[in-house]
Amino acid sequence: MKPNKNYQNIAQSYLFSTIAKKVNEFSSKNPDKKIIKLGIGDVTLPLCEVVVKALKSASEEMGVKETFHGYGPEQGYEFLKEKIGQYYREHNVNLDNDEIFVSDGAKSDLGNILDLFDINNTVLVPDPVYPVYVDTNTMAGRKIIYINANADNNFLPLPDENIKADIIYLCSPNNPTGAVYNKEQLKQWVNYANHNQSIILFDSAYECFITDENLPRSIYEIDGAKTCAIEFCSFSKMAGFTGTRCGWTVVPKTLEFDTMNLNKMWLRRQTTKFNGVSYIIQKGAEAVFSPEGQKQIKENLDYYKENAKLISDVLTKHNIWHIGGKHSPYIWLKCPNNMKSWEFFDYLLENVQIVGTPGSGFGNNGEGYFRLTSFGSRENTKEAVERLDKFLG
């Protein structure tokens, strides 16, 4: 057996696992110190009431012969796809139910989708970026080229006709920077992709944080996107499903490349390699779209937005350059005193016991930057802000 040697080309452990290991080491040496974790983008508020009720009632159904469910449709139950379709219609995007595929979250599908593409495609990835795009393509042995996201372009790189790419990753609102593309900017990417017969893999996992209705929440709000884009979204950040697992992927039927239809290919892939998300979880996800569910998740999203404001305010007070936090749960800041990202990570952990994510973990252009999340509890966020205030002062 010859192992996949491409694994030699990725970092030994995934970014967030490396951070967790460092934090565990610190805490075992300093058991009396309270660590505040604003690193990985994991939610802290519990599932909302209406979701818990739906999960309970679906569990009850599973214990009764007449309402028990075995294997479900691999691409998701109609009841949930219908609600997701309705959610898109609210933003003037019309999708057929068979263009929506329910999944166990955006991360898995962002990796799995690569099954549809030839190994010789060139992949274009903004730098810095969510590490999954780079790692999954490196594991497969694909050639990756980078496009610079930096302070000069407000961390929103635009296409360059001199750079040819087949597969393009975009994430807006962006992880890690929190920057959001407007419609004109996204239109440039859509035009580029249609012109070059490339595919855009659009990660919209943070769309629920957008409050400005002029900003696009889906790439399909842009004319022409249905012939060049696949979209990935998730209930994780929207409704606190990070531990519950549910998301969806949109593969329009109009995606045709070299006579092959990506929607049909994805259906074939999913029916072969995936047995669907459990009935119970899909019932919980359906409840998110009820009027009561929408109200309850909005309260939670507002809570995280308020946390972001508290963090942003203390950084502003101390003249620390930062973006994000407005249409995103992430605040992207320049490390003070020209510190390097990991240096600042260690410095914060040792001095004020705050955990963030080093910007360099998201790519070379992230060096010297740092990401904080607003997903902590209010109590911990306030305490972190107080510690930062003293420390930065």
Which residues are near ligand MLT by CB under 6 A? 40-42, 107, 130, 175, 236
Residues 145 and 165 sit within 8 Å (Cβ to Cβ): yes
130 vs 344 by CB, closer to ligand MLT? 130
Q: CA 311 from chain center: how many Å?
A: 21
Q: How far apart are CB 40 and ligand MLT at their closest, in Å? A: 4
Q: How far apart are CB 128 and ligand MLT at their closest, in Å? A: 11
99 vs 203 by CB, closer to ligand MLT? 203
Q: Which segments of the chain are extended strands (E)? A: 36-37, 100-103, 122-127, 143-148, 167-171, 199-203, 229-234, 247-250, 256-257, 260-261, 322-324, 330-334, 354-355, 357-358, 369-373
Contacts of 150 (CB under 8 A, 6+ apart): 365
φ/ψ of residue 260, rounded to 5: -105, 140
Q: How far apart are CB 102 and ligand MLT at their closest, in Å? A: 17
Q: How far apart are CB 42 and ligand MLT at their closest, in Å? A: 6
Give the Cβ contact number of residue 352 at 10 Å: 18
Distances (CA, A) of 74 to 106, 129, 137, 224, 340: 16, 30, 25, 28, 45
166 vs 203 by CB, closer to ligand MLT? 203
42 vs 98 by CB, closer to ligand MLT? 42
Q: How far apart are CB 217 and ligand MLT at their closest, in Å? A: 17
Q: How far apart are CB 282 and ligand MLT at their closest, in Å? A: 20
132 vs 147 by CB, closer to ligand MLT? 132
Residue nearest to ligand MLT according to CB distances in the complex: 41
Question: What letter represents residue 289's amino acid?
Answer: F
